[in-house]
Amino acid sequence: MTGAPGSPGNGAGALLRSLLASGVDTCFANPGTSEMHFVAALDGVPQIRAVLALFEGVATGAADGYARMAERPAATLLHLGPGLGNGFANLHNARRAGTPVVNVVGDHATTHAKYDAPLQSDIPAIAGAVSGWVRESTSPADVAADAAAAVAAAREGQVATLVLPADVSWDPIDEPDADAVLLAPAAAPHPPPHPAALRAAAAAFTSGEPCVLLVGGDATRAAGLAAAHRLAAATGARVLAETFPTRLERGAGVAPVDRLAYHVDLAVAQLAGTRHLVLAGARSPVSFFAYPGKASDLVPEGCDVHAVAPREGSITTGIATAALEELADLVAPGTVARTAPLARPPLPTGPLTVDSAAAVVGALLPEGAIVVDESVTSGLGLPATTAGAPRHDWLTLTGGSIGYGLPAATGAAVACPDRPVWCLQADGSAMYTISALWTHAREGLDITTVVYHNDAYAILRLELEQTGAAARLAGDGARARALLDLGGPQLDFVALATGMGVPAERVDTAEGLAAALRRAAAEPGPHLVEAMVPPLLP
């Protein structure tokens, strides 16, 4: 039996009010029948903004991008196991990012489960593969507390999944007290850095032996980088950032940092000769993929590893920055961190290439921009050309699950409506979650998307070589190479964008890209620029 019309007292209402009380006021949603009572409750809790996505991977990627910028979780609303499955890939990226996300997954009514109706599947199994916390609400009286617990779990820097059966959502709450708004318990204060670990790291820094400080998690924000630079300046250690940071603050006024390379040979070269590797919010470096005859573990032979703060939980606790600041006060008390000067490249002209496109971005990136980077091989020039741009944030593909860019840009723009979002997006990756453009338009988000259109899964051409597979091709390898080719037929991203309400234009010169980016900046709302670039390998 359902609650009386207008009565707030059902599970869905309790869920929304509990989420709001715990600071969750944004929900990226793709609902279905089992979520109708959640949807109906939205008008009773108007402080919660519901953003519709046309595909669940957009909702989950948006929640990831949102949390990276808002520093608090958004909720998603997903429809049973298949909806969670559709959202899995970007939840995987959020898991690897350590961002807090609260999934609400609607399920069949508890009374319906035994009939194994067509949409039924093992939701906890799917959720468990990507969530640090999973719970199913079994009674409307429990929902408020379950939601508060989900938010608390997410705040530890993980994906928390709450399964909400339809009847638990629609049933009235019998005891009036149970409808009381619950607050998520505050996160436990993070444990201080372990003195012995700090002492060991301090000894490594001051040993006079080659030392690398690898920063990740929260330590790729400005404060952590400043502390890292003080240590480096005082001791001669080198600082590197993890390959795919959750949120890298950079540009003029921020202590600059190079990232550990994705390419295994380059990463090995960066770390060669290191005698001490200090980890602050970063995991011990491993190659992204295994390659025949190459090491997976990137720590050089004979190098000692000293972890002063874990990756896990660092995004939400700031533990790595705290450790670095304590270390810097210990080892480099009077040292001041160097910061990057404002230094943009000149605007290039001529045919668009990966290099000239990167220079255009570096020349025009606006103050306070949020860059969502899924440019893959087309973005290789970007770190250098944007290092001296005005201060900005750089969000990366933390879990390697492509299709993250357009959704994460959605969430970042919702979190920071006053900041311009630049989504630098490879063409192949864009197609996994292309419908995010519709949400850009629907919400009027200030997102400028550059699609690097090279008609290929260009990175797989490199990987075909790297894995030794290219050497095993029979004949001319045409059938294999066709699977890495996106040119037949050629995608038209201007048509795709305008078909979803986003103004778009195609450019093939550097001056064309610059003009298009300026036009986009001059107008409110989303824009897309299709940048025709040659692939790295033909």
Minimal distance, residue 144 CB to its own copies, in Å:
17
Residue 390 gets which letter from DSSP? S
Please, how many CA atoms are within 13 Å of residue 468, restricted to the half-sphere of its CB? 6
Cis peptide bond prior to 489, omega within 30° of 0: yes
Minimal distance, residue 103 CB to its own copies, in Å:
13
* Contact present, 97 and 449 (Cβ < 8 Å): no
End-to-end CA distance of the chain: 64
Tally Cβ neighbours within 10 Å of residue 115: 9
Tally Cβ neighbours within 10 Å of residue 285: 22
CA distance linking residue 453 with residue 428, whole number of Å: 8
Question: What element of type H or E holds 164?
Answer: strand 159-165
Question: DSSP of 396-442, one letter per residue?
Answer: E-TT--SS-HHHHHHHHHHH-TTS-EEEEEEHHHHTTSTTHHHHHHH
Instruction: Give the closest residue to 391 by CA, choosing from 331, 343, 423, 355.
Output: 343
CA distance linking residue 289 with residue 460, whole number of Å: 12
Minimal distance, residue 516 CB to its own copies, in Å:
18
Strand boundaries in 216-361, DSSP class E = 238-241, 248-250, 258-259, 276-280, 304-309
* Contact present, 452 and 431 (Cβ < 8 Å): no
C-beta of 44 vs 366, nearer to its own copies: 44
Tally Cβ neighbours within 10 Å of residue 509: 17
C-beta of 20 vs 431, nearer to its own copies: 431
- The four Cα atoms 250, 207, 333, 255 give a dihedral, to 10 degrees, of -10
Minimal distance, residue 464 CB to its own copies, in Å:
5
Minimal distance, residue 385 CB to its own copies, in Å:
25
Minimal distance, residue 37 CB to its own copies, in Å:
5
Instruction: Give the closest residue to 17 by CA, choosing from 160, 180, 237.
Output: 180
C-beta of 33 vs 349, nearer to its own copies: 33
Minimal distance, residue 36 CB to its own copies, in Å:
4
C-beta of 251 vs 407, nearer to its own copies: 407
Minimal distance, residue 373 CB to its own copies, in Å:
15
C-beta of 208 vs 489, nearer to its own copies: 489
C-beta of 136 vs 325, nearer to its own copies: 136
C-beta of 4 vs 522, nearer to its own copies: 4
C-beta of 130 vs 204, nearer to its own copies: 130
DSSP three-state, residue 358:
helix
Minimal distance, residue 45 CB to its own copies, in Å:
9
C-beta of 341 vs 444, nearer to its own copies: 444
In sequence order, the 6+-apart residues with CB closer than 8 A to the CB of 208 are none
Instruction: Give the closest residue to 470 by CA, choosing from 396, 537, 382, 379.
Output: 537
C-beta of 349 vs 490, nearer to its own copies: 490
Minimal distance, residue 51 CB to its own copies, in Å:
9
C-beta of 231 vs 456, nearer to its own copies: 456
| Block residue for tokens 């699950």 | 401
* Contact present, 468 and 91 (Cβ < 8 Å): no
Minimal distance, residue 141 CB to its own copies, in Å:
18
* Contact present, 319 and 431 (Cβ < 8 Å): no
